[in-house]
Amino acid sequence: MENKLYYGDNLKIMRESIPDESVDLVYIDPPFNSQATYNMLFRDESGRLAPSQVQAFSDTWHWKCEDEQFSAEAQYEELQKIAPDSVVRLIEGLYEFMGPCSMMAYLVMMTTRLLELKRVMKSTASLYLHCDATASHYLKHLLDRIFGLQNFHNEIIWKRTLGHHLATRRFDVMVDSIFFYSKSDDYTFNRQFHQLSDTEIKKKFPYIEEETGRRYTHYHLEQPQNVGSKGETRNILGKTISTEQGWRWTQETIDRRLTENPHLILFTGGDRPRYKVYADEYEGRKISNLWTDIQPLGSMAAERMGYPTQKPFALLKRIIETSSNPGDTVLDPFCGCGTTIEAAEALGRKWLGIDITHLAITAIGSRLEDAFSGKCLYKTEGIPQDYPSAQFLAGKDAYQFQFWALSLVKAQPLGGDKKKGKDRGIDGIYRFKDEEKRKLKIAIISVKSGKTGPVHVRELKGTVEREKAAMGILITLDTLTPEMEREAATAGYYESVVFDKKFPKIQILSVRDYFEKDKRAHLPQFTKRALSYKEAPKVKKETGKKQNHLEI
């Protein structure tokens, strides 16, 4: 399976594009039904994350919706027809308890997706669902019914924040939950370990073996829990020893290990045998379901992309390494800014990512370009690839068309919602460097999905002058008219100092001409990446076989 990044509703995409039993691992970080609106932050002229932002998604769910595709009421009725009986009874019980409220809408939308996720998972696959206390108790019931109680393995608790909040009449919330389920009892699980520091190693392994100079500690060879060997004897280094407690190893194991290492067993305090554990063979403590060692993303974290609800790379790295192997396929149906995708690519896994906003798709593309120096191979599905598909997007959702159109010139969207920015005539900003001191300059981008004419060119000219911008780009759906071209030409040229080149001060980019005549905007550009998006740090792909871990 090849890497793919999908734009669109994940339920529709899974049903139409992802085959049965084709995925090895699912990580799902869906909206939590927080009733909040989340904005994506962008860079300012200095390259720092700036107050300018644009709405990424709204985490509010509704029972009724004009678009039946997203109607919880319609999906509730569908579930009653297609879901397993146990799931139907649970959903009907929840509806009887809650009624048609926002939480019920959220749970219905999640149920339809969880059923599809189970379908696409291989029998050896696992699912990790990331959530908080808002709906975790309801989601746990759904997961138990869909995957089976016997396939629940852990509720992982991740400490997601270091600071305290402003709660005065309740305890501060500092953790998230991650539910870990498998599709069957035959699932991939590679145990993970905490590595110890040099100081911790010296404390845990205080002895040094005279014969080899190896650092070690030692433990009882007797083991009270192993009652099956209670009263048995063992022949160890010429001594016959019995115990009422039981033995950790069989006689065969003792003989084999002493053959491999005659210094492995020692006697302390008389005739009681103990075995050595060497520091150079010890990989660390087994990781439990309490994750406090993975730090949340601070405001100055190098990997922080400015995307709301972004999770740390280390969190996804641990999940992917635990429940998949190199070459396996990882699916994230709410992929946001692409942390799962980046981690999967770095760890040698195949991946599938889905998101319902062009903002996310563009941000992921920029991130992968930076992280892997343009060497990450994947296909994008659902993004307009020709004029008819762009025309369809414009008619279906003008706001998402605007996001996509801005990506044609790698511009930063402007405005927190559908209304902001319109009164200023600015839909996006393209930043570029064109002075010896490298101070950033801007080109203002205006997007029109409907009928356009010379008046829109004049409006853009006025906006460029008012904002003291270097250039202006008008992106239109249809081919520009001669009158529009003449109006744009009256603005003259922007003369680049660094590039020693003239650029038309006002340009018109037709989406039809973009596809049918391969016409592009002419902008000063030092690199292939967009300055508007925070540059992602380089990621080194990991190679090599899994190591065997030694437990004490």
Provide the strand spans (E) within 404-516.
Answer: 412-413, 428-433, 440-448, 471-476, 493-496, 501-504, 506-510
Query: Residues 21-42: pLDDT tens digits?
Result: 999 999 999 876 554 544 433 3
Give exposure, 405-426, as e/b (b: 16+ Cβ within 10 Å).
bbbbbbbbbbbeeeeebeeebb
Mean pLDDT of 415-434: 67
Give start-end residues of each CATH 3.40.50.150 domain in the chain: 4-193+286-381
107-112: which pairs have CB atoms within 8 A and are 24 or more residues apart? 107/135, 107/138, 107/139, 107/142, 108/72, 108/75, 108/76, 108/79, 109/61, 109/70, 109/72, 109/75, 110/30, 110/139, 110/142, 111/79, 111/83, 111/87, 111/142, 111/146, 112/11, 112/75, 112/78, 112/79
Query: Residues 467-484: pLDDT tens digits?
Result: 999 999 999 998 889 999
Reported as a pLDDT band with limits 50, 70 and 90, residue 67 is low
Q: What pLDDT is recorded for position 431?
A: 85
Mean pLDDT of 96-114: 91
Q: In the numeric block, which tokens belong to residue 265? A: 């067993």
Query: Residues 285-300: pLDDT tens digits?
Result: 899 999 999 988 877 7
Q: Which CATH code of 3.10.310.40, 3.30.420.40, 3.75.10.10, 3.40.50.150 fits the domain covering 4-193+286-381?
A: 3.40.50.150
Q: What is the spatial distance between Cα 136 and Cα 218, in angstroms, rounded to a whole number?
A: 43
Reported as a pLDDT band with limits 50, 70 and 90, residue 438 is low
Report whether 330 contacts 353 (CB < 8 A): no
Half-sphere exposure of 177 (CA within 13 A, CB side): 16
Instruction: Kindly report the pTM of this predicted structure.
Output: 0.82
Q: What is the spatial distance between Cα 534 and Cα 546, in angstroms, rounded to a whole number?
A: 33
Asked whether the predicted pLDDT for residue 405 surpasses 80, the reply is: yes
The domain over range 389-516 is classified in CATH as 3.40.50.261:
no
Give start-end residues of each CATH 3.40.1350.10 domain in the chain: 389-516
Asked whether the predicted pLDDT for residue 161 surpasses 60, the reply is: yes
Asked whether the predicted pLDDT for residue 550 surpasses 70, the reply is: no
In the chain, what percentage of residues exceed pLDDT 90? 59
Q: What pLDDT is recorded for position 551?
A: 39
Asked whether the predicted pLDDT for residue 55 surpasses 70, the reply is: no
